[in-house]
């Protein structure tokens, strides 16, 4: 599993890259704020929904602060997914990459 800082992800997205953005937070968190274009699969549902996660493109996984996404990242890595964890989660994204992103 690899890791990426929010600023580096923002730069890649601005260059037109389109990794599969996987939000592993709970639905109520996703309703508050989410990265544009991301797919919500709560952490507890990932094993049952593994077939929905692509194996032919990079998956960037995120949560609120980066803990749940790191756990999911290790699980996905073990199952052959090319996965990258967003360090610090969407909270760090708001602080370091896009201050317009609401914090909670």
Residue 84, both tokens:
């990258």
Q: Which residues pair with 61 in a beta bridge?
A: 22, 85
Residue 63 is among the residues annotated as catalytic for this protein: yes
Alpha helices in 41-88 (DSSP H): 67-78
- First CA to last CA across the chain, in angstroms? 27
Catalytic residue among 4, 24, 41, 63: 63
Catalytic positions are: 63
């Amino acid at each position: 599993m690899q890791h990426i800082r929010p600023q580096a992800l923002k730069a890649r997205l601005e260059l037109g890259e389109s990794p599969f953005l996987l939000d592993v937070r709970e639905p109520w968190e996703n309703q508050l704020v989410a990265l544009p274009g991301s797919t919500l699969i709560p952490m507890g549902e990932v094993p049952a929904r593994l077939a929905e996660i692509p194996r032919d493109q990079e998956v960037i996984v995120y949560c609120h602060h980066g803990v749940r996404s790191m756990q999911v990242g290790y699980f996905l890595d073990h199952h052959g997914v090319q996965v990258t964890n967003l360090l610090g989660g969407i909270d760090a994204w708001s602080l370091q990459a896009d201050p317009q992103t609401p914090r909670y």
